[in-house]
Every structure is written in C-alpha cells, then in structure tokens.
Structure 1
Amino acid sequence: MPEHKGLVLIAEDERHIADLQRRYLSREGFGVHVEADGTAALSAARRLRPVAIVLDIALPGMDGVTVCRRLREDGDWTPVVFVTARDEVADRILGLELGADDYLTKPFSPHELVARVKSVLRRTAGPGQDPVRRVGRLVLDTGRRTLHVDDGPLELTTTEFNLLAFLMRNPGQVFSRDQLLAQVWGYADYRDTRVIDVYVSQLRAKLGEASPIRTVRGVGYAVTDGTR
C-alpha cells in the first residue's frame, strides 16, 4: 500500500458531482469521505481531521458558509475550497473573509478541482518538511522508507510503516481510531476500527521497549518521547 496523501472531505448534496469528485481525487492518491448535508459535514470535519475540505455552499441542513464559520470559530484552519453554482462577487468575498482558501463555480472540470486541492495544500504546508523523523530511540526516513531503532534497521510492513510515520509526523497529538483509518488508510469504515489496535499491537511487538506509541484510554493513540 503506497503512502496515502490524506483524506479529503467532500460536502456535496448532488450525488453525481460528489461521485465525480471522489473518483478524480482518489486517482491522485487521496482518500475521500463524502457527506451530503452541512451538519454531517461539520461533524465529519471535527471527527476525521481531513487534510482539505471541498465544501459546497448550498448544502441542506447547514449551508457551507456556516460550516466554514463554525470550523474557524473552533480554531480549525483546515484548507477549504468552496464550491457554488453562483458566480457572484459577494459570495466570493464572503467565502474568503471566512477563511476559505479557494473558490470554484459550477460547472467546473474535475481536473481543475484536483489542481485547486493540491494548490491549497502546497500553500498551507509551508517550507518542505524534513523526511527524517526522530522520536526517542527511533529514526524514521519517509523518503527512503526506512526505520532504525538504536542505529539498527528494523523491517516493517507497508501498512505498519505508514501508521508509524503518520503518528511520528504528529508527535503529542492524540488520534482516534476513526481519524487514523481516515488519514492512514484513506477511508472511514467505522465498523472496523479495531484494525488499528491490531497494527498498533504488531508495531509494539516489533519495537519492544523503544515503542513511543501511547494509548489514551477512551480516545485512541499518540506518539510521545516516552515508552508505552
């Protein structure tokens, strides 16, 4: 399994448009989660921590403008690409004032959507990150996809590596099983979140006392400089 680019949340109530967006983003290596109304989209954004949100303004239940406003009030600055059937200057200004990162007017090419998502991710990522991560006794190189423990190499499966790499890129942050499924596997199948426990158990068995993975009871997992 190649390293995933992260989960994109699509909030779109027109199913054929959402399916098209999902297909093209998936081809580019993104995981995709779709919600058809604003209330569900806001909940999914808070629960899954997507890398970007494609947000239709005219959503049922809660419109996209309100969704974006609620996220920004929470201090959540996940990149947002607004989508609307209207092409009015007032809508664009309102979206940008709320902290949207880009704006697309229907109809648009799915290729353009992919390009816009990639663009906002580049703009918000800042300078290129060092591919080498050091936590405790572990040195992980995402470029070479190698792991060393106490200067000795350790072999991991592709999925084990991707999970450990994600946690080590976000030291100290606690992630729920739902969030890890979304970010590492690129989907959110809430019926099977215990697969995370299996992979964490395998990682701990291989890393032994050098394991930096901490269980946060009732929440999920985090990487710290300490041991288990």
Structure 2
Amino acid sequence: MKLLVVDDEKAMANAIRDNLEYEGFQIDCAYGGQQALDRLLAEKYHLVVLDVMMPDLDGFQVLEQVRANNDHTPVIFLTARSAEADKLRGLGLGADDYVVKPFSILELVARVKAVLNRTTPQAEIKSLQLGDVRIDFMKLTVESGGQTEELGRYEADILRLLASEPGRVFSRTDILDQVWGMAAFPTNRTIDNHIVKLRQKIEPAPKEPRYILSIYGKGYKLFPTA
C-alpha cells in the first residue's frame, strides 16, 4: 500500500517514513502543505499522515482542498494541538483520525493499520449462517424459524468484523477503531450494548451465548462454526 507522509520537519517525516516502510508500506514524503497538495492531486494514495502546523498551507487547508476535489483518501492528522475544537474541525473536514505530538511511533503505526482496515475495500461478507440462523448483511436482516428481524447498522458491522476472522479475539478498542472510527465518540459500554442486542437476535439462548463469546479482560470472538 502506498502512503503519503506530510510534515515540514524533515527529520520527523523521515522517521515516520522509515518506520512505516519497515512495516511493509510504500512511502512518499512531502515537506510542506503545497507540496503535499500537488502530490495528492497528481497521485493516488491509500492513506495520508498529515501534519497540521505548516508554514505555507496548514493541514486543515490541504484537507479542505483535497475533499473539495472529491478525493476521499483517508487522513490521519498529526499535530501538537490538542484542543477539542481543533479535533472537531478536523473531523468536520473529513479526517479519519487525530494523533497528538509527542506520540509513540508504535501508536501511530497501529492507528494507520486501524484506519486502513476500516477504509480499504476487502472481500465483503454478504451472508452468515449460524446454526439455524441466517444473517443477510446486504438486506440487514436475521432469519430464524421462518421469522425475519432487522439488523442495525452497527450490529451488522460488529458481526461482520467478528466473522472476518472466526476465533480471533477482537478487543473493544479493535471494534471501536474498525466500526466507529472517529465519526462518533462511543464507549466500551456502547459496544457491550450492541453485543447484547446481537445475541438477542442470533443466539438460541442469549444469556448462554453459543456464537458470540466474551473473553474476560480481552474482548469478543465469533465461535468458529461449520
């Protein structure tokens, strides 16, 4: 995957580049807002790590012009600013995440992977069979015993995520990052409530779940089924 790293501090940009290249990504660097905008108008990237505070065009201006060009490349803002108003402004312009300096490079790499996981088209799971229950992700329905029930959007996204790797334990942070991202401000309790609703719709005995299992202190997994 090809990523663009933008920061007017060359040492910072190059350090981020080196670490992301170590993770297997192809990286281009831009050392100013105008240079970044020129690259984004000329080339396609899977994601942009974009510094906010730059002397020519700041990150907000770059993103605003990119989105005005109908370019929806995922963007992670990188900045020393931590004010809530700046975060909300970034989200309003269409940013996908926001990392405040100083930061751990491991945190940035993890956020890059999380944003890519939820924004990169993958082989879509269209349906799922759990015992006598059939989930249709296209229609957002659950069919069981001749009855059909609607499936909420977030319920479907959580279940699809769990079904993407049956047996893998997804932490609540994994689910928050890959289902909600920064478009909202959900809590762990929000996830738990959606899991409860899911179990009520797909489990034969919701209080004794067979398919969506809780792993104490870790998260949730979908029990592998035939």
- TM-score normalised by the shorter chain: which range applies? 0.5 to 0.7
CA distance in 2, matches of 1:37, 1:30: 21
Q: Does 1:66 align with 2:73?
A: no
CA distance in 1, matches of 2:2, 2:121: 19
Give 1:76's aligned residue: 71
Give 1:7's aligned residue: 2
Tell me: CA distance 1:27–1:83, structure 2 relative to 1, closer, same or farther (3 Å): same
Q: Deviations over 1:20-39 (max 9, x none)?
A: 10111001111111111101
Root-mean-square deviation (CA, aligned residues, Å) is 1.4
Greater RCO, 1 or 2 (C-alpha within 8 Å, sep 6+): 1
Give 2:18's aligned residue: 23
Q: Select the residue among 29, 32, 44 that pairs with 1:49.
A: 44
Q: Deviations over 1:138-184 (max 9, x none)?
A: xxxxxxxxxxxxxxxxxxxxxxxxxxxxxxxxxxxxxxxxxxxxxxx
Q: Which runs of 5+ in 1 are unaligned?
A: 1-5, 131-228
Amino acid at match of 2:58: D
Q: Deviations over 1:105-130 (max 9, x none)?
A: 00011111111111111111244369
CA distance in 2, matches of 1:80, 1:12: 13
Q: Select the residue among 95, 99, 115 that pairs with 1:100.
A: 95
- The normalised TM-score by structure 2 is 0.53
CA distance in 2, matches of 1:7, 1:48: 10
- The normalised TM-score by structure 1 is 0.53
Q: Which secondary structure does the structure 2 equivalent of 1:49 belong to?
A: coil
Q: Report how many aligned residue pairs link the two structures.
A: 125
Q: Deviations over 1:8-67 (max 9, x none)?
A: 101101122112101110011111111111011011112121110000001121110000
Give 1:112's aligned residue: 107
Amino acid at match of 1:25: L
Q: Which secondary structure does the structure 2 equivalent of 1:53 belong to?
A: strand
Q: Percent identity between the aligned chains? A: 42
Amino acid at match of 1:22: R
Alignment of 1:81-160 (within 5 A): 81-128=76-123
Q: Does 1:40 align with 2:35?
A: yes
Q: Which secondary structure does the structure 2 equivalent of 1:77 belong to?
A: coil
CA distance in 1, matches of 2:52, 2:5: 12
Alignment of 1:210-225 (within 5 A): none
Q: Which secondary structure does the structure 1 equivalent of 2:18 belong to?
A: helix
